[in-house]
Structures are given as C-alpha cells and as structure tokens.
Structure 1
Amino acid sequence: MSSVMLAATRSATICRADFPAWLTGEKKMAVERWSDGNEVGKRLAAHRLTALLSLDLEGSKNIGAIGAVRTDRSTAFTWRGESGGLRAALAALDEFADGATCLVGHNIIEHDLELLSRHAPDLKMLDLPAIDTLYLSPLAYPENPYHHLVKQYQEPALARVQINDPLLDAELTLELLADVADELKSMDGGLLLAWHALLSTGVTGHAFDHFFQLIRDSVVTPLVEDSIPAITERLAERGCPNQAARIAREALSHPLALTYLLAWLPAAGGNSIIPPYVEKRFEPSALATRLRDAHCGDRRCPWCSERLDAGKALKRWFGFPAFRDHPKSRDGESLQRSIVERHLARSHVLGILPTGTGKSLCYQLPALMRYEATGSLTVVISPLVALMADQVAAMRRERIACATTINGLISMPERAEALAQIRL
C-alpha cells in the first residue's frame, strides 16, 4: 500500500500499469511506459537524438533490479532480482537493446556499465556508446552544487529511506538529457567547441563526441589544440589572463578538470561550489586556484592587481581605505597587512596583536578573498563563542552572507541551517 502511494506522488498521469513489475507483484519484464514518454522522445528527436536506450541498475556489487526504456518504443523493460533469474534477465535486456543507437544513464559509465561488464561481459549492448548525464549536468547547470538524479516520485522528507524505482529513474534520466540538450543548445558556441574537444579527449569510447556534434550542428570533432584560443578567451574573462594562457596550453594534460572549470566559472564568486563528485574525480579546483588565486607576477595584470591586492580587497569588502598603521611589523609596515599577505601567500603565520587592533580582519579578509576566488571554505576555531556570533552578525549587516558559526549553544535547527550553508 505504501509503495503505491509513494509512486503515485510522482505525477497525476501515472497509473498502476506504469509501475514496475516488482511493485505490482507481476513477473513480466515488459510494461507500458508512463504517458509523457513520447513527449520526451520528441524533445530528444529535435536534437536528432533517436533510438536511445536509457538504463538504470540497482545494486553496487550485485544487480538487484533493472529498469530500461527506449525513445523509439512504447514498452519498457523492468526486472526485480529473483534467485537464478539474472542471466535470463540480462539476455532479455540485451534483446531489448537491439537496434538502439546509444545508451543513456546517470553515472552509467562508472556504475551501470561496470556492473554489466562484471556479470555479463558478452552482452552485445556493451558495444554501444554511452551518454552519461552525470558528466553533462554540471555543464548545463553550473550553479547547482549537487547533480544527483531528482526523483520526483519520492517524498523529499523520506527520500533516503524509500525504495529506488529503476524504471522511473531511467525515464527521469531521459528527461534530464532532454533538459541538458535544450540548455546547451542555447549556450556560447566557443564554450561548446571547447567542451566538445575536451570531453571527446577525456572520455574516449563513448558518445560525447556524437552528442556535441548534434548540439553544435557540426560533423567535425575539434582537436584540443584547435580549441585553445576559445579556452584561453573564456578563462581570461574570469581570471588572470597570463595564467589562463598557461592553463590552456596544458589542456591535453587535464582535459576533464578544464572542462568543469570552464563550466563553473560563470557561477564563480557567487553562492556556488564545484560539485563534490566532480572535485573528487577531476580536481578542477587546482586549476581554479591557479587561474583566480595565484598571482602571476605581472604588476600590470588586470586580474591580479585588482582581485589579489589585499588593500583593494579591504576597500571592496569592508569599505576601509587602508590597513591600520599600528602595530607595525619588523620592517615598519602595517602588521595587520603583513599577516593578511602572509595568509594570501599560503605561508604559516603566527600573529600576536593587542586588543582592539583588528585581529579578526587578519583572518576574515583572506577567507573572503579565497571564497570569492575559488569558493574555498576557511574554518576559524575560537573559544570565544559570543565573539564569533557577533562577527557573523556584523558581516551580515554589511551584506556579507557567506559566513556562519557553529557552537554547542545553538539549537539543532540552527545547526542544520549552518551546516547547509557550509555545504553550499
């Protein structure tokens, strides 16, 4: 009863015939698709993406359930694990895939294809190229920090404990692919050229090359070397032009990291981070640091002389015209400025200042500059609970909303809100 009710929350157009066999108790592997499937197929066909097979497997080491759907058929494939039935199910899935041009999935390259190869390496469908929406979603939606598949059929408050529906997940992946294709189609041609070259180089043997050929209306696969001017231009728009040229020349050394750096840059400086799974796999933040948070050494550089200058950042963030004159460092400079600049140079520093001489700014300003440049998180550990709360409140009065505080005196809802801010 509860399973039926949960599935029914997805859409008013779903009926019992649309549920996978394992929810309804039926044993068949082919079921009717949900009613708006043809509409998704039409949207994809508008981009000349036809005869796609969207696949979702449940399980990490063993396959517990399978859902698959095609854009050129009115039926779908579904199977829930039964003792001894996997071999027959995979054979039927392989038959269902006959005639498909491409496989589609959300994390299909790292998960679903790996599972299929482990359990049935002789499947003909494994010869098909794949489009992985987990690779494409951050390109289309860089402002989103997380790119898990949004499962509308689950109640948000209970999503972690509800059963995944592989058939509906396969359908949702097709919807996501259609959304991504629509979004990318409207984007800057130079950026699409760069992504086409970089993804085709970084992920070989799959359908990203064909996908971008369709999106770009081009039958030519660009070489990374030919896309360097476009890459350099887009990096220089949002970072140091000297570092941009160096990073672009090294594109073949880190094609995927550069792909996601280019995707994230339009959202940089705002309330957005590089998606954690992208960072874990490809580490684009290392390139972001070079581009936006490492001085190139050229005093005439428009980015470094403006964005990486501590005095100008002080004026930009807090409105102060200069650092405090006293106390002074050993070389006669403002000690406050010296500490900030040592922080920015990533040097270890011990600062000892009297009360009332601006100690807090010595960590606040570098933290804000790093956040603006790369979305970096700075953790300040202090025994002064009330002072930390007052500092956060003061920054918010100045419309600086990227700081929060956590301590043992706040309520659980306040703690949850603070942790949510940190994750973003």
Structure 2
Amino acid sequence: MNNIAFVDTEIQEGTGRILDIGSIRTGGAVYHSSSVADFIHFLQGARYICGHNLIHHDLKYIHDAVQAAGISGNVCLDTLYWSPLLFPMRPYHALLKDDKLQTEELNNPLNDAIKARELFMDEVEAFRKLSPAMQHIYYFLLNRQKEFSAFFDYLEYQPEGSAPETLIRECFAARICEHADLGRMVTEHPVELAYALAMINTRSRI
C-alpha cells in the first residue's frame, strides 16, 4: 500500500474549531492530538490522505495543514463515495451505519481513522474483483470527479478502450432502456449514472 495518512477529526459545532485529530499512517504510526503543528509534522512524507467524508467535511478544517505538509489536494481519497458503488447490496458496508463509520468509542477520531483504513482496503479489494467492463465504466464516468479521481491514481488505473456510452450499452443490454439518452447522462450526470449502474448490476454481475 502506498504511503497514506488516514485521518478523522472532531470539530466544535458552530465555531469550526478543531477539538481533536486522529490519524494512522500506512506503516502503523499513529497521531492523536489537537495540535495542528504536530499534525503537519506527522503528515509529512505521506503520498495520499484518506478519510470517510474527507473531501466535504474534514478537509474544510485541515486543508491548510495538509498543504503545509506538502500533500496535494488532488490526492485525497474519500471512502464515503466509493462505498455505495462497491457494496451496493448491503446497502452500507459492514463498518458503516447510515453512512457513518461504526466505532466502539464515541468522538474518537483515531479509532475512526483506523476504521477508515479498514474500509479503504476493502474498497480496493472490491474494485479489483469487479469485471474489467465495470472497472472501465467507473473510470470513464468518474475519473474527472474530485471525489473519485485519487482512487484511480492510487491504483495506477488508466485503461484504454471504448467510449462509456458504447461500453454501457454492450454490458447492460436488455437491462436498461435501449432508448435511454446515455450520451446526455454521461456528460451531465456521470456520478448518478455510475450509482444507478451499480444497483442494476447487483442482480446480474457482468
């Protein structure tokens, strides 16, 4: 596994003040403190930062620290958005309840960071078990979306092949309406289309 810092935060409601930060590195080093300066030092050398709802929650409060540690905003891995794509039959992964990480302790960012690491590893394994067709479809639909792009970068996944509309029609023949305007969906609603295809694909794996 590439050098990842898995992160979770506890933020004071209303003020946005950081109350606690928990993080675990790929090699097992852990951080649990409210000191942003120490957190910056802990992050240095990480290639990626990963969390559950990282991009639209935690990153709002630790963005400056992440940048100060030399980590690009383009390498943020977020387990929240991949979970319903890769585990559509649950509907949530076993570590999740109502899209929140299941933890043994309340308000423990370190424990949540550890759970995020487990979830991420399961997501990587689940993606690798997908058929090549579904992997390609997800890439073509999602690789330019900030919630998904770093995942493909982490996997070094950049396939060549058919345009997404053609590939979707080939793979989902008789399972989606032949008159559906896939071209418009691919262009205007790629994320929504990816989630819809994940659900359709649960009954009959490609």
**The two structures share one fold, judged by TM-score above 0.5:** yes
Q: Is the 8 Å Cα contact of residues 142 and 149 (structure 2) preserved in structure 1?
A: no
**AA in 1 matched with 2:186:** A
* Count of aligned pairs between the two proteins: 194
Deviations 1:150-182 (A, max 9, x none): 42415xxxxxxxx22100110111101111111
- Describe the shift of the 1:239–1:153 C-alpha distance in structure 2 as closer, same or farther (beyond 3 A): same
- Residues 17-416 of structure 1 correspond to what in structure 2 (within 5 A)? 45=1, 50-59=2-11, 60=13, 61-72=16-27, 74-80=28-34, 89-117=35-63, 123-128=68-73, 129-146=75-92, 147=96, 148-154=99-105, 163-203=106-146, 206-213=149-156, 218=157, 220=158, 226-243=163-180, 246-248=181-183, 250-267=185-202
Name the one with the larger helix percent: 1
C-alpha displacement of 1:93: 1.1
Does structure 2 conserve the Cα–Cα contact (< 8 Å) formed by 1:52 and 1:102?
Answer: yes
Q: Assess, with a 3 A threshold, how the Cα gap between structure 1 residues 261 and 101 changes in structure 2: closer, same or farther.
A: same
Give, as a single letter, the amino acid of the residue that structure 1 aligns with 2:80. Answer: L
Q: Deviations over 1:325-379 (max 9, x none)?
A: xxxxxxxxxxxxxxxxxxxxxxxxxxxxxxxxxxxxxxxxxxxxxxxxxxxxxxx
Partner of 1:201, secondary structure, is coil
Normalising to structure 1: TM-score of the pair? 0.42
Deviation, 1:207, is: 0.9
Note if contact 1:53-1:100 (Cα within 8 Å) is conserved in structure 2: yes
Cα 1:165–1:192 shift into 2, 3 Å: same
Separation (CA, whole Å) in 1 of partners of 2:178 and 2:155: 27
**Deviation per residue, 1:13-45 (Å, 9 max, x gap):** xxxxxxxxxxxxxxxxxxxxxxxxxxxxxxxx3
Change in Cα spacing, 1:204 to 1:104, as seen in structure 2 (3 Å) is closer
- Determine helix, strand or coil for the equivalent of 2:9: strand
Identity of aligned residues (%): 27
Residues 391-424 of structure 1, C-alpha deviations (whole Å, 9 max, x = no match)? xxxxxxxxxxxxxxxxxxxxxxxxxxxxxxxxxx
1:235·1:241 contact (CA, 8 Å) conserved in 2? no
* Separation in 1, partners of 2:149, 2:127: 19
Aligned-residue CA RMSD (Å):
2.6
Q: C-alpha separation between the residues in 1 aligned to 2:183 and 2:31?
A: 44
Unaligned runs of 5+ in 2: none
Aligned residues of 1:55 and 1:170 also touching (Cα < 8 A): yes
Higher strand share: 2
Q: Which amino acid aligns with 2:102?
A: K
Larger radius of gyration: 1
Change (3 A) 1:58 1:95: same
Identify which of structures 1 and 2 has the higher relative contact order when contacts are C-alpha pairs closer than 8 Å and 6+ apart.
Answer: 2
How many Å separate the matches in 1 of 2:168 and 2:198? 11
Equivalent residues of 1:228, 1:249 under 8 A apart:
no
**What is the SS of the residue equivalent to 2:18?**
coil
Distance 1:76 1:121, change over 3 A: closer
Deviations 1:283-335 (A, max 9, x none): xxxxxxxxxxxxxxxxxxxxxxxxxxxxxxxxxxxxxxxxxxxxxxxxxxxxx
CA positional deviation for 1:126: 4.8
Which residue identity lines up with residue 165 of structure 1 in the other structure? Answer: N
Q: Decide whether aligned partners of structure 1 residues 253 and 141 sit closer, same or farther in structure 2, where only a CA change above 3 A counts.
A: same
Instruction: Give the Å deviation of 1:262.
Output: 1.5
The TM-score, its normalising length taken from structure 2, stands at 0.82
